[in-house]
Amino acid sequence: MKKLLDINNLKDHVFDGMSIMVGGFMVVGTPEFIIDELVNIGVKDLTLICNDAGLPGKGIAKLITNGQVKTLIASHIGLNPEAGQLMSAGKMECILIPQGTLAERIRAGGAGLGGILTPTGIGTIVEEGKQIINTNGKDFILELPLRADLAILEGTTVDEYGNVVYTKTTRNFNPVMATATDQVIVGAREIVKRIDPDNVMTPHIFVDYVIKEEL
C-alpha cells in the first residue's frame, strides 16, 4: 500500500508553528494514537483547528497540557477546563467560532470558495469586525475560508487506495477537514483491500498518508 506511513516517520511531516486540523467531536473521531505521537515529537507553537478542546487527558487536551498549542480555533472548550484557564491567563490564544460556521468555513477552504454568508451570530459579538451583507432583505455575516497545513483524521476503515469510511458519530468534522489542508494523514483502525465505491465517504485523492493504529 503506497500511502502507508510508519508512525515513527510522522516527525518528518510536522514542524513548529504549523497549523493542524484535528477531526473529532469531544474526542470521538480523533485518532488518539497520532496525538500521542505528536506529544512524543514535541512539535510546538501549533495552531489547532478542532471542534473542541478535547476532554481532560484525552484528544488534543494532551497537546494543550504539554504547552504545544499557541492558538486554538474551536467552537466549545467548556469540557476541558484547562483550555479556559490558559485562555484567561493569556497563555493560549483561543478563537471561538459557532460550530456550524466552523464547519462551513472549513468547507469553503476546501471547496475553493471565497467565503460563506451565514445568519448565525448576527446581533452578537461574533459579527464584530466582519462584513455584513444583505441578500433578499436579510443580513448575513461574511465568514472567510479556513485552511491548514495538515489534517489529522480518524478513519474507521481505509482501503489500499486510501478511500475512507467513518463509522457512526466518529464522522463529524473528519470528511470536511480532509478537503481543506495541504496534507492529510488518516489514522486507520482497519485497512481492507477495497471499500465498496458507493460507500466511500472521503475519496482517496484527498488522502496523502495512512497510519495503521495498533489495536
Partner 1 sequence: MDKLQTRNFIAARVAKEFKDNDVVNLGIGLPTLVANFLPSDITINLQSENGLIGLGPKPNEVNFDRDITNAGGQPVTLLEGGMYFDSTLSFSIIRGGHVDVTVLGSLQVDETGSLANWIIPGKMIPGMGGAMDLVTGAKKVIIAMTHTNKGKPKILKACTLPLTAKNQVNMIVTEMGVMAIKEDGIHLMEYNPEYTIEEIKNATEANLIVNEPIKMKVEV
Query: Which residue of 5, 39, 71, 84 would you call a contact of partner 1, by CB under 8 A?
Result: 84
Touching partner 1, residues 6-45 (CB under 8 A): 25-28
Separation CA 60–CA 114 (nearest Å): 29
> Minimal distance in Å, beta carbon 70 to partner 1?
18
> Minimal distance in Å, beta carbon 11 to partner 1?
29
User: In this structure, are residues 15 and 183 in contact, taking their beta carbons and an 8 Å threshold?
Assistant: no
Query: Which residue of 47, 101, 163, 181 would you call a contact of partner 1, by CB under 8 A?
Result: 101
Q: What is the DSSP string of 76-124?
A: B-TT-HHHHHHHHTTSSEEEE--HHHHHHHHHHHHHT-S-EEE-TTTTS
> Between residues 10 and 166, which has the closer beta carbon with respect to partner 1?
166
Amino acid at 71: T
Separation CA 23–CA 38 (nearest Å): 15
Please report how many Cα atoms fall inside a 13 Å half-sphere around the Cα of residue 19, on the Cβ side: 13
Query: Is 105 near partner 1 (CB under 8 A)?
Result: no
Region binding partner 1 by CB under 8 A among candidate stretches 6-14, 40-48, 96-104, 205-213:
96-104
Residues that bind partner 1 (CB under 8 A): 25-28, 51-52, 55, 74-79, 84, 87-88, 94, 96, 98-101, 103-104, 107, 118-126, 156, 166-176, 201
